[in-house]
Structure 1
């Protein structure tokens, strides 16, 4: 939903760009429908288990490559063993549009081969972490639908300060690449009841993250 007071796009850190209200309501609703389908088959959405034995509070399902802490595979060995669905061409095209919008330059060579769909309920959080299992430094595209969250975007050398807290609202786009590609980031808080039913969700937050893994099948 468009804000009453316009929220301009801004660069949070070098090559880390927040573009508010980027997805239309129709695009949000379409993504919600597709995410619900991906969450059931061929691999079910689940809370990944960390090496410590703890379960993440965020529920995840993957396309293209299956992610588990901290590696990728074509099959979801920690969620039934099925082979994950491919990243559809229309989602690749959306990723290219996103990078072009954020960096204001053509992004025809941007071809994400993995998508992580994360669902946050009202208590879910994501600790500060780097996306570093990829063998590519291509930009990461992050799309938000549903409840507003605090997105904490940090530095490339530790989980602490300096960092910047950004409010991500349904429809917002965040892209980070270049010198900020491996910055620590996380979601310390979701604000329940802040999403409009017009986006397709009654509650919770969906985050769709597109990545270029740089991996090849053995």
Structure 2
């Protein structure tokens, strides 16, 4: 945010959950936004997700690699136009690994602090050599919300990578035990990175509020885009 007195710092939100502010610079944000706009076009483009109970999510979604629907994955947009899902670009998969390194490893963001997780390196560790093969891109309008939920339809324990573009949101991050308290509210701005794995991989999380009109002026986006990268482990 322009004129901020102190820079925001990388923060351990919960065991295995790390917030890295301003990870994507303005140029990289614009490139990612242009890619999202291309992915949102038909076929297998942006659609409204309907829950089994007949409700509709207020955030609209497009998928890459595999198509997520409540509550599973398919190779076609089974709850959309039925077309094959767009492939996961190799550069986006590489960005997922880069994000995990930035959150968990020593590097440009500074050394790890006591209690922070380390970058998985052994073959038996969650996230080691993970190939990010699924992307869920959610578009939030001013009135969009996301209820507390877990990302539990994957078989891999690799960390989830979340990238934010556009309007700021309140991101509510809880525990694996349930949807209620304790939880922590984190302000995610355009360019922020949030990674959660290890003990927090199945933590409940949601978006109770979007702050309209807070996107960077030069980005050219009204609303919020969230790009979530996952390792399916689904074969």
TM over 0.5: yes
Change in CA separation of 1:207 and 1:61 when aligned onto 2, cut-off 3 Å: same
Alignment partner, residue 124 of structure 2: none
SS in 1 for 2:152: coil
Name the structure 1 match of 2:182: 162
Give ranges in structure 2 of 5+ residues lacking alignment: 106-118, 122-126
> Shift in Å at residue 129 of structure 1?
0.1
The normalised TM-score by structure 1 is 0.95
Q: Give yes or no for contact 1:96–1:108 (8 Å, CA) kept in 2.
A: no
- RMSD of equivalent CA atoms: 1.4
Q: CA deviation at 1:200?
A: 3.5
Deviations 1:72-91 (A, max 9, x none): 00111111111111110110
Q: Summarize the Cα distance change of 1:47–1:3 in structure 2 as closer, same or farther, 3 Å threshold.
A: farther
Matches within 5 A, 1:7-86: 7-86=8-87
Partner of 1:117 in structure 2?
Answer: 137
Q: CA deviation at 1:198?
A: 1.7
Instruction: Say how many residue pairs are matched.
Output: 215
Residue 177 of structure 1: which of 197, 217, 227 is its match? 197
CA distance in 1, matches of 2:2, 2:150: 30
1:148 aligned residue: 168
User: 1:89-119: per-residue Cα shift (whole Å, max 9, x none)?
Assistant: 1101111110000001377712111000000
Q: In the alignment, what sits opposite 2:111?
A: none
Q: Give secondary structure in 1 for the equivalent of 2:27.
A: helix
Structure 1, gaps ≥5 residues long: none
For residues 86 and 178 of structure 1, what CA distance do their matches in structure 2 show?
27
C-alpha contact (below 8 Å) 1:28/1:200 kept by paired residues:
no
- Provide the rounded CA distance (Å) in 1 between the counterparts of 2:171 and 2:185: 6
Residue 193 (structure 1) aligns with = 213
* CA deviations over 1:28-84 (Å, ceiling 9, x no partner): 000110000000133120110001101100000000000011110011111111111
